[in-house]
Amino acid sequence: MNVTKAKLETLIKELPDTVDIEEVMYRLYLFHKIETGEAAIEEGKTLSHEETMKRLSKKWEN
């Protein structure tokens, strides 16, 4: 997934003045997961609540 500089600049500006690299990496990871999820929603790659419950029920039975 490609990200624009503007989105990264916004992410960096939201960081505190002093931050460790782990926090930066975590926020980049979180940003990536949110972007991926939003793209999946736009593409219709979602499950209904009922389908999710069916899948989880099958998983829990095993």
Q: At what angle do helices 5-13 and 21-42 cross, to 10 degrees?
A: 130
Q: What is the pLDDT of residues 7-55, one digit of tens each?
A: 899 999 999 999 999 999 999 999 999 999 999 999 999 999 999 999 9
| Between 1 and 52, the higher pLDDT residue | 52
Question: For position 61, what pLDDT does the model report?
Answer: 84
Question: What are 51's two structure tokens?
Answer: 């389908």
- DSSP letter assigned to residue 18: S
Output the pTM of the full model: 0.70
pLDDT at 1 over 80: no
